[in-house]
């Protein structure tokens, strides 16, 4: 009986141990489940916070890009306006310079034309004197034509050497180019 009691106590103790181990394991499982649940909640909160921060960063970046684009467009517009003003200024300077130079050349040409007129007048007088003479009477009209043609050729050659024809062609070219 004593052996039976011992066996009974042993099995009773073993059942209690198994129950105690089961209860401890259940408590441990419940604690681990709680830790996992807390970790999942913290992970969800961190993901939500990261999403909110990402959206805020995207909005800030979008505003910064938009502001930079507006600044660039403003600078390009200012640059275009400055370039236009500068081109107009250069055009006006070139135009004023050409007008001044053409004025100088016109005065020079007028002086040369006056000299040629004086020479032509003297040539006509000499022609008239030659006409009064016997030789002049025979050659009268052809000599006058030759003198007038020679004077015209001299005037045209002087104008060509002065560059009048190239100046006017350059001026006409600039006008037709829109400057």
pLDDT in tens, the chain (179 residues): 565 665 555 556 666 767 777 777 877 888 787 888 787 788 778 778 877 888 888 888 888 888 888 888 888 888 888 888 888 888 888 888 888 887 888 888 888 888 878 887 887 787 777 666 655 455 556 767 777 888 888 887 787 777 766 666 666 666 767 65
pLDDT of res. 31:
79
Q: How far apart (Å, rounded) are the C-alpha atoms in residues 155 and 162?
A: 11
Dihedral over Cα of 14, 20, 22, 28: its sign: negative
User: Measured at the alpha carbon of residue 53, what is the angle toward residues 48 and 57, in degrees to the nearest 5?
Assistant: 150
Helices (H), 133-163: 134-161
In 101-131, which positions are buried (b, 16+ CB within 10 angstroms) versus exposed (e)? Answer: eeeeeeeebeebeeebeeebeebeeebeebb
Q: How far apart (Å, rounded) are the C-alpha atoms in residues 177 and 173?
A: 6
The number of domains in the chain is: 1
The rounded Cα 124 to chain-centroid distance in angstroms is 65
**Residue 120 per-residue DSSP state:** H
pLDDT of res. 5:
64
pLDDT of res. 130:
65
Q: How far apart (Å, rounded) are the C-alpha atoms in residues 24 and 98?
A: 108
pLDDT of res. 132:
66
**Contact between 136 and 143 (Cβ < 8 Å):** yes
pTM for this predicted structure: 0.36
Q: Quote the domain boundaries for residue 154.
A: 2-177
């Amino acid at each position: 009986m004593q052996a039976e009691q011992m066996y009974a106590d042993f099995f009773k103790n073993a059942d209690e141990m198994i129950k105690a181990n089961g209860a401890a394991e259940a408590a441990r499982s419940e604690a681990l489940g709680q830790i996992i649940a807390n970790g999942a909640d913290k992970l969800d909160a961190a993901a939500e916070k990261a999403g909110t921060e990402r959206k805020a960063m995207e909005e800030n970046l979008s505003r910064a890009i938009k502001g930079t684009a507006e600044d660039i467009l403003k600078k390009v517009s200012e640059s275009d306006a400055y370039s236009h003003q500068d081109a107009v200024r250069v055009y006006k300077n070139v135009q004023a310079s050409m007008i001044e130079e053409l004025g100088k050349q016109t005065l020079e040409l007028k002086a040369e034309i006056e000299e040629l007129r004086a020479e032509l007048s003297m040539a006509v007088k000499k022609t008239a004197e030659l006409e009064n003479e016997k030789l002049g009477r025979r050659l009268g009209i052809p000599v006058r034509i030759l003198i007038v043609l020679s004077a015209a050729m001299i005037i045209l050659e002087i104008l060509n050497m002065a560059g009048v024809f190239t100046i006017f062609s350059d001026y006409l070219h600039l006008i037709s180019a829109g400057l």
